[in-house]
Amino acid sequence: MARAAISAAGVVPCKLLGYVGAGATYRRASAVVAAFANGLANANWDGGWDEVDVSSYPPVAGGNDFIASGLHKPIVAVLMTVDANLDSDGINSVLTLTLSLGKDASTAFQVVKMNAQAGDQADLELSMQAGELVVPTSAGTPYTGLGQKFYWKGDKTSSVGTGAVNDANFRANGYIW
């Protein structure tokens, strides 16, 4: 911290900081992981890029508690998991999801694939989760430097029927600043 006044005894009060400078990682405990709202809805798995502004999530009363401190800006990258509830319809149908994540609406930094296979059943619901992903951020698109935004693109293909993505979400585990 900034130097306080020197005491009469000539002592300078000071505090040892846990970290100085940029590049530290802030992680949340699993019990308080923040969920991004409805961004991964079935209709958005259309092959188009969608923006996520982490500074606006989670949308809870009282404001945003995902960003731990105003000092932790800009956010260089978001650490998160993604989970999805897949519904594959039709006998022997295979529903494949391809999730691309990046700093802008054109550059895939991470690509995750998920599959639901119905086999001999007419219907199958399957929940899947991808492990921790690190996704770089930007100030917007086109890429203009570090910021609080990242982009995702979802592609959905089904060998039989249409299939659906239910209750999918990004879950923020932390960030790097």
Which pLDDT score is estimated for 48? 93
Q: How far apart are CA 142 and CA 157, in angstroms?
A: 28
pTM for this prediction: 0.75
Total tally of structural domains belonging to the chain: 1
| Residue 90 included in any domain | yes
Return the minimum-mean-pLDDT range out of 28-32, 84-88, 157-161. Answer: 28-32
Q: pLDDT tier at 2 (50, 70, 90 boundaries)?
A: low
| Residue 3 included in any domain | no
Q: How far apart are CA 76 and CA 23, in angstroms?
A: 8
Which pLDDT score is estimated for 16? 65
What is the extent of the structural domain holding 40? 25-176
The CATH number of the domain holding residue 101 is: 2.60.120
| Residue 63 included in any domain | yes
| Residue 16 included in any domain | no
**Order of strands, sheet of 94-102, starting from the edge strand that comes earlier in the sequence:** 46-53, 149-158, 94-102, 110-117
| Residue 10 included in any domain | no
Which pLDDT score is estimated for 35? 63
DSSP string across 120-146? TSSEEEEEEEEEEEEEE-BSSTTT-SS
DSSP string across 44-103? G-EEEEEEEEGGG-S-BTTB--SS--TTS-SB-EEEEEEEEEEEEESTT-EEEEEEEEES
| Residue 15 included in any domain | no
| Residue 8 included in any domain | no
| Residue 116 included in any domain | yes
Q: How far apart are CA 49 and CA 99, in angstroms?
A: 10
Dump pLDDT digits (tens) for 48-99: 998 888 777 654 444 455 666 667 778 888 888 888 877 777 777 788 888 8
